[in-house]
Chains A and B, each alone.
Chain A
Amino acid sequence: DAGVIQSPRHEVTEMGQEVTLRCKPISGHDYLFWYRQTMMRGLELLIYFNNNVPIDDSGMPEDRFSAKMPNASFSTLKIQPSEPRDSAVYFCASSIVAGGPYNEQFFGPGTRLTVL
């Protein structure tokens, strides 16, 4: 298996532009998570899905952030409009309900977003 795939790996954009981050979870995994990593706050959970349905989006910082999961193999995280304070590394992770008691999550390589 190729693992969790994220694209792009790096994104540089200007303030006010729309940014779309993409994620392909591991095949067969039924949970998908979006995280943001910053120096100050570490790894923050933004939103997670179960069987393509958003379960908890309380970590989404503002209405400028939205996430979708149209099918089991694809999810997007969109920021519109983007701001410099959105600059961070965004990770996607997936897990499977039958994967054991400790809910191990498998992470993608991340997208480094820079908003100028």
Chain B
Amino acid sequence: DQQVKQNSPSLSVQEGRISILNCDYTNSMFDYFLWYKKYPAEGPTFLISISSIKDKNEDGRFTVFLNKSAKHLSLHIVPSQPGDSAVYFCAAGSSGSARQLTFGSGTQLTVLP
């Protein structure tokens, strides 16, 4: 039973265009969400987060949107750059369950020059 789902295993985007990565969750207890980026042969690194009390959080080219009613979040990258090519993991956590995060299966983003 996957509580965090990333239904698109891969996404290709042209350089300079917008990349939109999607994530769905089922557990209503999740109250904060994170995105991690992973390059080959490296561990995931934290990218951006959002609390359930917000519907948007922006950091430079990266924006995360949260739709609580739909249990859906998305990561927008504008403009996309070749260096953004990586696997992106969505993760969710609950303030009531210690430090545990539940991760999605990841989406491979390829930005074409």
Contact = CB atoms under 8 A, between A and B. Distances in A.
Contacts of B41: 109-110
A41 interface: yes
Interface of B: 6, 32, 34, 36, 41-46, 49, 51, 89, 93, 95, 98-106
A42 B106 contact: yes
15 contacts: A4-B43, A41-B105, A42-B6, A44-B103, A45-B102, A48-B100, A55-B98, A93-B43, A102-B34, A103-B34, A103-B99, A104-B34, A107-B45, A109-B41, A110-B41
A79 B90 CA distance: 28
A97 interface: yes
A106 B101 CA distance: 12
A109 B43 contact: yes
Contacts of B36: 107
Interface residues of A, number: 27
A56 interface: yes
Say what secondary structure dominates the interface of chain A: strand
Nearest to A94: B99
B44 A56 contact: no
Contacts of B106: 42-43
Contacts of A106: 46
B103 A42 contact: yes
A4 B44 CA distance: 12
